[in-house]
A and B are shown apart, each in its own frame.
Chain A
């Protein structure tokens, strides 16, 4: 069974701090990794994708991938109350069409 695991949280950080969200996956052959943000009652919104080991930065967001450790993370710098949402880690195994989603981490940013 291919799995994606996330800490369900809630993760609470003060405004302006760095929020660190973590995800591990079981299929060593996975090649594509995505982070989605989902506000309550809304649909998931793609915020980052990463395919190679290392860091990928986009504005306040940095995705980090370590395939040897089967670990992917999302850092949110200068966290804002508007970042409060559930963050879903998603992994696409090699050759597959089925994206495997983690259960999501709820993030609260306190003003």
Chain B
């Protein structure tokens, strides 16, 4: 299995809602990532987990809260988002963090904040 899966594919939420994005990989990778991508821009790194521990938080606002329950799962909890947070949210994984480790992306969750 060489796939990273993400749910849901699409999410529409109001600014007062709480929702979660989910990511799963079964490749035995020990590094997982959250990226945000706006239209016609490259992916922007949000968080890196290495061996289920948060290694990098790119100064992301606290309304985004990551969680790594185990080596295969990565969640992103959303609360009190703003319309400018509307974007494609991408999960990726790699065997290890850094080095020559190739990152593989999931299909993404298209988030719209009303």
A binds B: yes
Contact surface of A with B, Cβ cutoff 8 Å: 31-32, 34, 36, 42-46, 49, 51, 88, 92, 95-99, 101-104
Q: How many residues of B contact A (CB 8 A)?
A: 24
B108 near A: Cβ within 8 Å? yes
In the complex, the 5 A-B pairs of residues with the closest C-beta atoms, listed nearest first: A101-B42, A43-B105, A97-B97, A43-B108, A97-B98
B61 near A: Cβ within 8 Å? no
Smallest distance from the beta carbon of A70 to chain B beta carbons, Å? 18
Q: CA of A34 to CA of B94 in the docked complex: distance in angstroms?
A: 13
Closest residue of chain A to B88 (Cβ to Cβ) is A43
Closest residue of chain B to A33 (Cβ to Cβ) is B100
B55 near A: Cβ within 8 Å? yes
Smallest distance from the beta carbon of B77 to chain A beta carbons, Å? 21
B81 near A: Cβ within 8 Å? no
B90 near A: Cβ within 8 Å? yes
Task: Pick from A49, A51, A88, A92: contact of B42, CB below 8 A.
Answer: A88
- Which of B31, B42, B55, B58 counts the most chain A CB atoms within 10 A? B42
Asked if B104 contacts A46 (CB within 8 A), the reply is yes
Q: For B31, what are the chain A residues with a Cβ–Cβ distance below 8 Å? A: 97
Asked if A104 contacts B50 (CB within 8 A), the reply is no
Asked if A31 contacts B100 (CB within 8 A), the reply is yes
Closest residue of chain A to B31 (Cβ to Cβ) is A97
Task: Pick from B48, B88, B108: contact of A98, CB below 8 A.
Answer: B48
Closest residue of chain A to B106 (Cβ to Cβ) is A43
Asked if B41 contacts A49 (CB within 8 A), the reply is no
